Amino acid sequence: MNETRDRVGEPGGERRVSKLTLYGYKKCGTCKKAEKWLGEQGVDYTFVDITTDPPQRSVLKQAIEGERYEVKHLYNTSGKAYREGGWTEKRKTLSEAKQLDALAKNGRLIKRPIVTDGESFTIGFKEDVFAEVWG
């Protein structure tokens, strides 16, 4: 399910930033915090349910091409799919390419939220990182 959220910024005008995509899960507390923060900043974003429509492999690959993140940062290590799937051990033996393939097929393995404007990325929610990247 994709849901567009338009946010109004300063009084008398709309704050314009590149449209963001937030891959998240509606029941996720961390995703709710990220949505609240974006709303308070007046940032437009489209919500994509990560469990039914996970990011494509190319998006995940792009997220780890910068200096901030590695493939290990993409995993939802506290999630049921990760724990029950034995991913702590599995990921040690798989190439980055195979890990990206697996993550793109199962959004429940992915740490959330992932927020992107197509160039910059944040994984998870830390207010200071959001302020730096999206503020």
Instruction: Report the CATH number at residue 83.
Output: 3.40.30.10
Cβ–Cβ under 8 Å, residues 76 and 108: yes
Q: Which helix (H) or strand (E) holds 61?
A: helix 57-63
In angstroms, the first-to-last Cα distance of the chain is 26
> How far is C-alpha 1 from the chain's CA centre?
15
Check pLDDT > 90 for residue 28. Answer: yes
Percentage above 90 pLDDT, the chain: 84
Residues of the domain holding 87: 2-134
Give the model's pLDDT for residue 66. Answer: 86
Of 125, 122, 116, the residue nearest 32 (C-alpha): 125
Query: Confidence class of residue 6 from pLDDT cuts 50, 70 and 90?
Result: very low
Check pLDDT > 60 for residue 128. Answer: yes
Give the model's pLDDT for residue 4. Answer: 44
Number of domains in the chain: 1
pLDDT in tens, 30-83: 999 999 999 999 999 999 999 999 999 999 999 999 889 999 999 999 999 999
Give the model's pLDDT for residue 18. Answer: 67
Give the model's pLDDT for residue 8. Answer: 38
The pairing of beta strand 114-116 with beta strand 45-49: unpaired
